[in-house]
Structure 1
């Protein structure tokens, strides 16, 4: 029936949960419903799409792992040199590994095969290939998951609770 965005008491996104778990939190009065989709679970209980916890929950900072999937998602599945969207995207080190480049969020980008081969063992400046955006480490893995739903066109009511979405 759908996923539900869970907000902390401070209105910051906390996680995405199932509608069943969200209803349990509502029935136990641990959360309040902020948004619903009009569908009813009980005669007086609409199916929530966004809930807010009544008590603040402190969450530790978790670093997002540097994986191919996460880099592709951060870069919008497009080549950071020419903007190509499609198949056969690779990961490219801005400063090549052979020249001391590390596997970090700031040094790894998405590139199409053509641009990656053209750049070769050079820096973008040496190859005359400026980057479309400066690579940065993502702030939140939850933002990745939320943006996936928003990009698919579902749960647009979540947009007002997510900064930068």
Structure 2
């Protein structure tokens, strides 16, 4: 099933929902379609365009900005699926300061790594090895959650900004 980008009345990206949920919001007169996919929903007597981007007709106050959850998938996406030590395709995540030596499980301490680098580093600090980080780990920007959900449609780009999820 396709997805649709939901915008606030101020054109701020709020969420990504199923196309079925998006058409439901449009039919309940809570949103308007800004972009269509070219496909259609059919009922017994009507045909409705499948929405790709919808805009709410009323402003929804968002109490807190969305934070990107620290997941394996999110770390890989932030690091472009590349090992931050050697540049090979990433298969694991690594704690820069090992958890066994006081490091936390946080955005600024977790990087993507390949299996060989992860095995060679073991539970040592960077200064105890010959590894150098290609880029310092940091928390992704606020709108990164959109990019982490998969490939956004071209018509979403004016509303969600640049594809980079780095800070």
SS at match of 1:22: helix
Moved >6 Å (runs of 4+):
none
- Of 62, 67, 90 in structure 1, the residue corresponding to residue 71 of structure 2 is 67
SS at match of 1:106: helix
Aligned-residue Cα RMSD (Å) equals 2.4
Change (3 A) 1:4 1:70: same
SS at match of 1:149: coil
Q: Which moved more, 1:110-119 or 1:47-56?
A: 110-119
Give the Cα–Cα distance (whole angstroms) in 2 for the partners of residues 48 and 115 of structure 1: 45
Measured after TM superposition, the shift of residue 96 of structure 1 is 1.9
Aligned equivalent of 1:58: 61
SS at match of 1:4: strand
Q: TM-score, normalised by structure 1?
A: 0.80
**CA-to-partner distance for each residue in 1:7-46, whole Å, 9 max, x for gaps?**
1112121111122221222222211111112234477742
Aligned equivalent of 2:154: 156
Aligned equivalent of 2:49: 46
Give the Cα–Cα distance (whole angstroms) in 2 for the partners of residues 140 and 72 of structure 1: 16
Alpha carbons 1:92, 1:110 under 8 Å: kept:
yes
Question: Gapped runs of 5+ residues in structure 1?
Answer: none
Question: Gapped runs of 5+ residues in structure 2?
Answer: none
Q: TM-score, normalised by structure 2?
A: 0.79
SS at match of 1:92: strand
SS at match of 2:151: helix
Aligned equivalent of 2:89: 85
Measured after TM superposition, the shift of residue 145 of structure 1 is 4.0
Give the Cα–Cα distance (whole angstroms) in 2 for the partners of residues 92 and 60 of structure 1: 33
Matched residue count:
158
